[in-house]
Chain A
Amino acid sequence: MAREPGVVPAQVAHDRLAALAEQRRVAAGSRFWRRLRAERKAMLGLLLVGVLALLAVFGPAIAPYHPDADDFGLFQPPSLSHPMGTDSFGRDLLSRMIVGTRISFTIGILAALSAMVTGVLLGLLAGFYGRWVDSLIMRFIDLLWAFPVIVLTVGMVAIFGAGARNVVIAIALAYLDDFARVVRAEVLRLREEDFTLAARAVGAGNLRIMFRHILPNTAAPIIVQTTFAVGLGILAESGLTFLGLGVDPSTPTWGLALNEGRDFVRQAWWISVFPGLAIMLTVLSLNLFGDGLRDALDVRTVSEAE
């Protein structure tokens, strides 16, 4: 069957475009790994995050004692058998710190992922459809932004009650605006790119363009932002739990240990020192990794873009 030169059936055009994009993504992927390995910060961060992740997974098996065992004597200073000392209930602090890794990571990751999914979706819709959809979504984002994180989370927990699930929701709500802004800015740029036009020309619908063509191209800033958000989530959780508004007080968490240690700073400094170090090390690892990722992926984050 004779065909006009240069005219390709829509399906073939779709496939070619997709194959091209796939090739480009694979090439970008291997370039990314090369650059990431060259980032010392990123590799150090990744190593530390990896070790902490192992602790989070195998914590209860690794911990020298059961986190709730309380027959070691009250306020024992750090020693060989209890490297971080014991707390006001006579429990081994090291074991509680190790077991607490899992809770901190779980809450941080869940909060970051929830913030990412909602924020990305809102940013995508706002940037893609523009006009009143954009106004509506961005005014909502402005509203969220007008509340300092801790005020927003404290307020949310006041309304829905404490507990891990509500803490995750509150933290996600507090950080989703960053995602929405980053993605919206990217979409506004990508919407005008030739490949979007090409996709539209071969008959792709709005949903297809949004999720198959635009979204994959916003992956880099989203990944970087998510890494930072996990750290911010862990910090926010520790703050809420410290205030007594966080997870259930029967779960051994770093924030809870700080809350319990506060009244005993005069006789037992170790109860307050070690949980904070645990939080700092974790968030530091995530920040190092995120920072290295950002350099390797060559993206700008919200605060710098503004």
Chain B
Amino acid sequence: MTQYIVRRLIHSVFIVWGCATLVFFMIRLIPGDPVLQMLGPEYTPEAAEALRHKLGLDQPIYVQYLKWFSSVLRGDLGDSIATGETVVGAIKTGFPKTLSITVLSFLIALAIALPAGIVAALRRNSVIDYLVSILAFAGVSMPGFWFGIILIILFAVQLRWLPAVGYASLTQDGFWPWLSHLLLPSLAVGTGYAAILMRFVRAGLLEVLGMDYVRTARAKGLAEWTVIARHALRNALIPVVTVAGIQLALLLSGTVVIETVFSIRGLGRILVGAIFDKDYPIVQGVILLIAVIFVMANLIVDIIYTFLDPRIRYG
């Protein structure tokens, strides 16, 4: 077990290093000179040369790589070309917003997927089952950002219940303003994710319901609800945990785009803005961070998995 975790950790470190390297070299392929972008109208060949020297862009690429990599290890991701603030600083302002949306989407997805999947499995081939199935199909087929726009039209423009755009800080503005700004974007991302999860909840539960131990539990005279909750569901949810982990990327992807819809300056919005500005250090830093979060999350899911299902032993 410990051996497995250690091996997975090493593998994760390798992946993250690979990502960082890939991102570094890819960014260097971007056409267009960032120095021209930075100087704008103040461009003179001398000024460009001086700036290039200052940024270290006149050094051979492997020197740049080693320098960049050693500063990354020290937690220094460089400075934004466009604004001059540190990349770490920019990430610190964006991260809480992205994290809030991601966590809330995840909770919303569970709140939709668990009951829907369970009811669909217990009432197999009923109207509810078909309805859940249709909703699941629709959910995975629609663009999450479009659903976000629909939610804005419905709840912000027509009903005026919730704000259409923007973000409020939990610590400064309080709980309700924070939540009210997050509800619509999180609902938009969470619904697509729920659509995937509920199919797996349903399939997992159906498989388990046919097992001998469920029959035994029923034969013991346990209440149907106890059989479902204590015996069937616990085992049915194991594969769901894996799917939840694998599809986490989807949640992050959804969040990146939804931030643009709701004008929330989280990591996604910062990333897209930086691409338009050719702000290399920001692009580099944000993509790297997202890859790290994703790899770590999957590592955690894999470890949880071994705890949930003692039959699984990674040799």
Q: Which of A157, A265, A287, A288 contacts B149 (CB 8 A)?
A: A265
A sample of 26 cross-chain residue pairs with beta-carbon separation below 8 angstroms, ordered by A number, consists of: A139-B18, A142-B18, A146-B18, A146-B294, A147-B294, A149-B250, A151-B253, A159-B29, A159-B30, A238-B143, A239-B143, A243-B260, A244-B272, A245-B275, A262-B261, A266-B157, A269-B157, A272-B149, A272-B150, A272-B153, A273-B150, A279-B143, A283-B140, A283-B141, A303-B243, A306-B246
Q: How far is the CB of B256 from chain A (nearest CB, A)?
A: 5
Cβ–Cβ contact A151 & B252, under 8 A: yes
Residue of B nearest to A284 (CB): B141
Count, chain B residues at interface, CB 8 A: 51
A126 at the interface (CB under 8 A from B): no
Query: Chain B contact residues: over half helix, strand or loop, or mixed?
Result: helix
CA distance A142 to B17 in the complex (A): 12
Q: How far is the CB of B241 from chain A (nearest CB, A)?
A: 12
A29 at the interface (CB under 8 A from B): no
Contact residues on A (Cβ < 8 Å of other chain), bracket: 35 or more
Cβ–Cβ contact A243 & B27, under 8 A: no
Q: How far is the CB of A254 from chain B (nearest CB, A)?
A: 9
Chain A residues near B276 (CB, 8 Å)?
244
Residue of A nearest to B133 (CB): A41
CA distance A245 to B147 in the complex (A): 20
Q: Which of B137, B146, B257 contacts A150 (CB 8 A)?
A: B257
Q: How far is the CB of A35 from chain B (nearest CB, A)?
A: 20
List residues of B (262-289) whose CB comes within 8 Å of A's CBs: 268, 271-272, 275-276, 283, 287
Cβ–Cβ contact A161 & B256, under 8 A: no
A143 at the interface (CB under 8 A from B): yes
Give A214-238 as 1s and 0s: 1 = Cβ < 8 Å from B's Cβ atoms: 0000000000000000010001001
Which of A148, A155, A157, A235 is packed against the most chain B CB atoms within 10 Å?
A: A148
B291 at the interface (CB under 8 A from A): yes
List residues of A (145-179) whose CB comes within 8 Å of B's CBs: 146-151, 154-155, 157-161
Residue of A nearest to B263 (CB): A262
Q: Which of B146, B243, B260, B294 contacts A279 (CB 8 A)?
A: B146
CA distance A198 to B294 in the complex (A): 44
Chain A residues near B253 (CB, 8 Å)?
148-151
Cβ–Cβ contact A159 & B272, under 8 A: no
Chain A residues near B271 (CB, 8 Å)?
151, 154
B38 at the interface (CB under 8 A from A): no
Q: How far is the CB of B291 from chain A (nearest CB, A)?
A: 5
Chain A residues near B287 (CB, 8 Å)?
147, 151, 155
B235 at the interface (CB under 8 A from A): no
Chain A residues near B90 (CB, 8 Å)?
none
State the A residues within 8 Å of B (CB): 139, 142-143, 146-151, 154-155, 157-161, 231, 235, 238-239, 242-245, 258, 261-262, 265-266, 269, 272-273, 275-276, 279-280, 283-284, 287-288, 291, 303, 306
Q: How far is the CB of B121 from chain A (nearest CB, A)?
A: 16
CA distance A242 to B147 in the complex (A): 13
Query: Chain A contact residues: over half helix, strand or loop, or mixed?
Result: helix
B249 at the interface (CB under 8 A from A): yes
Cβ–Cβ contact B152 & A231, under 8 A: no
Cβ–Cβ contact A265 & B152, under 8 A: yes
Cβ–Cβ contact B30 & A158, under 8 A: yes
Q: Which of A148, A157, A306 contacts B290 (CB 8 A)?
A: A148
State the B residues within 8 Å of A (CB): 14-16, 18-19, 22-23, 26-27, 29-31, 137-138, 140-143, 145-147, 149-150, 152-153, 157, 164, 242-243, 246-247, 249-250, 252-254, 256-257, 260-261, 268, 271-272, 275-276, 283, 287, 290-291, 294-295
CA distance A297 to B146 in the complex (A): 33
Q: How far is the CB of B154 from chain A (nearest CB, A)?
A: 9
CA distance A147 to B19 in the complex (A): 8
Residue of A nearest to B17 (CB): A143
CA distance A6 to B12 in the complex (A): 55
Cβ–Cβ contact A143 & B22, under 8 A: yes
CA distance A262 to B31 in the complex (A): 30
Q: How far is the CB of B217 from chain A (nearest CB, A)?
A: 26
Q: How far is the CB of B239 from chain A (nearest CB, A)?
A: 8
Cβ–Cβ contact A148 & B294, under 8 A: yes
CA distance A27 to B282 in the complex (A): 57
CA distance A146 to B254 in the complex (A): 15
Known pairs A155-B26, A161-B31, A239-B257 / 5 extra A-B pairs, C-beta < 8 Å:
A146-B295, A243-B272, A276-B143, A280-B146, A303-B243
Chain B residues near A244 (CB, 8 Å)?
272, 276
Cβ–Cβ contact B256 & A279, under 8 A: no
Residue of B nearest to A156 (CB): B26
Task: For the complex of A and B, list the 7 residue pairs with the smallest distance between their C-beta atoms, beginning with the closest.
Answer: A276-B146, A284-B141, A150-B253, A283-B141, A148-B249, A158-B275, A280-B142
Cβ–Cβ contact B146 & A272, under 8 A: yes
Supposing A245-B272, A276-B143, A287-B140 touch, asked if A265 and B157 sit within 8 A by C-beta, the answer is yes
Supposing A269-B153, A284-B137 touch, asked if A151 and B275 sit within 8 A by C-beta, the answer is no
CA distance A280 to B152 in the complex (A): 18
Supposing A276-B142, A303-B246 touch, asked if A154 and B256 sit within 8 A by C-beta, the answer is yes
Cβ–Cβ contact B250 & A148, under 8 A: yes
CA distance A262 to B145 in the complex (A): 11
CA distance A32 to B210 in the complex (A): 28
Q: How far is the CB of A270 from chain B (nearest CB, A)?
A: 10
CA distance A291 to B134 in the complex (A): 13
Residue of B nearest to A287 (CB): B141
Cβ–Cβ contact B257 & A258, under 8 A: no
Cβ–Cβ contact B272 & A284, under 8 A: no
Chain B residues near A155 (CB, 8 Å)?
23, 26, 275, 283, 287
